[in-house]
């Protein structure tokens, strides 16, 4: 049985955690990345020491190089994408064109495999943004929710538009596929442009009684620790009943305010801090929570790591590898 898995964006946050999970279950891994967003750190280097892991530095926009990745893959997790407010705001055209082109090349690579079982495409919870804005929708939100386009002239829509188009590409690829829509996955090594590591950093370098700024304090999210997320992803790949499906990836509860999450971060750090509530972040939805009933039914998996334990584990990693080491973390 062929058990060789390609992970694009493999040096990034979710990619590296996923590779470790797959290794624990007897798979061999090919990580592909060009380090345009991540860093080559001790976590990555330790993973690369495993004899069942190989790494290729590859620009996925280059079809010739992509097609040189071989024809003995059983599955591909396509996680690579241009993401982040800086890119989306400044280069929306590149976000659209590059994300579509890289997926097109990956699809062509998948077609050339001899014994291929699944293409797994990382979409985004942002695909629901237009529906929420234009029509309103139920929360927690099921995957069956009709997708509505937002106003196309806004640069920040480019990322979610590239993912909606990517979902359509998978649907029409004539490949066995599974699409998953991540919702607020967090954990060690996720970079600093996210609320949990940001609040942990602020708390780590604060003193008791100090005020800490928290934006969008009353907005609510359901946060999913990365170990739970990658377990769902592995099961989506392995289970035949997930083929051809579009599934939410995350947790349905607890739905917490950003202020409550910040307070959890302060408890993990061991500081008594005052939340300084600031204005909502532009473009941030007031609520976001996935309906996870379909994913639970098909994968047989739900939550193992609660928010308190997850934030404690995340802080332990950042404290050692970033805050004390004065280093950076991959995204």
In DSSP notation, 262-310 reads HHHHHHHHT---EEEE-PPPTT--SEE-B--HHHHHHH-----S-HHHH
**10-residue averages of pLDDT along the chain (331 residues):** 90 96 97 83 94 97 97 97 80 94 98 97 96 93 95 89 97 98 97 94 96 96 98 98 98 96 98 94 89 98 94 97 81 56
Predicted confidence at residue 331, as pLDDT, reads 56
Contact 301, 252 (CB under 8 A): no
Predicted confidence at residue 18, as pLDDT, reads 98
Please name each of the domains of the chain with its CATH number: 4-186+225-250+290-303 (3.40.50.720)
Query: Coil, strand, or helix at residue 101?
Result: helix
DSSP state for residue 261 in the 8-state scheme = H
Predicted confidence at residue 9, as pLDDT, reads 95
Contact 10, 16 (CB under 8 A): yes
In DSSP notation, 197-228 reads HHHHHHHHT--TT-EEEESSTT-EE--EEHHH
CB atoms within 10 A of CB 286: 11
- Please tell me the distance from the alpha carbon of residue 176 to that of residue 174, in angstroms, as a whole number: 7
Report CA-CA distances (Å) from 275 to 100, 205, 218, 283, 319: 41, 15, 12, 22, 21
């Amino acid at each position: 049985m062929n058990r060789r898995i390609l992970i694009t964006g493999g040096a990034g946050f979710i990619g590296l955690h996923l590779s470790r999970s797959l290794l624990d279950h007897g798979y061999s891994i090919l990580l592909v990345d060009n380090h345009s967003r991540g860093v080559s750190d001790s976590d990555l280097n330790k993973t690369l020491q495993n004899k069942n892991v190989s790494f290729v530095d590859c620009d996925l926009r280059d079809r010739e190089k992509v097609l040189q990745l071989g024809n003995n893959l059983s599955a591909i997790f396509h996680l690579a994408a241009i993401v982040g407010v800086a890119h989306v705001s400044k280069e929306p055209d590149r976000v659209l064109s590059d994300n579509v082109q890289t997926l097109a090349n990956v699809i062509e690579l998948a077609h050339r495999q001899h014994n291929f079982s699944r293409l797994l495409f990382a979409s985004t919870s942002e695909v629901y943004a237009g529906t929420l804005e234009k029509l309103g929708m139920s929360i927690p939100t099921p995957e069956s929710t009709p997708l509505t386009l937002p106003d196309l002239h806004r640069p920040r829509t480019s990322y979610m538009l590239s993912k909606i188009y990517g979902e359509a590409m998978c649907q029409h690829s004539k490949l066995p596929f599974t699409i998953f829509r991540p919702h607020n996955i967090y954990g060690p090594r996720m970079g600093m442009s996210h609320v949990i590591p940001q609040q942990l950093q602020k708390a780590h370098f604060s003193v008791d009684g100090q005020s800490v700024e928290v934006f969008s304090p009353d907005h609510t999210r359901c946060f999913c620790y990365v170990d739970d997320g990658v377990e769902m992803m592995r099961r989506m790949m392995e289970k035949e009943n997930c083929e051809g499906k579009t599934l939410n990836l995350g947790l349905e509860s607890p739905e917490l305010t950003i202020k409550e999450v910040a307070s959890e971060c302060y408890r993990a750090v061991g500081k008594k801090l005052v939340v300084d509530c600031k204005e909502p972040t532009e473009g941030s939805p007031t609520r976001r929570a996935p309906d996870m009933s379909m994913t639970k039914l098909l994968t047989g998996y739900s939550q193992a790591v609660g928010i308190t334990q997850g934030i404690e584990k995340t802080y332990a990693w950042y404290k050692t590898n970033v805050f004390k080491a004065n280093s950076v973390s991959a995204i």
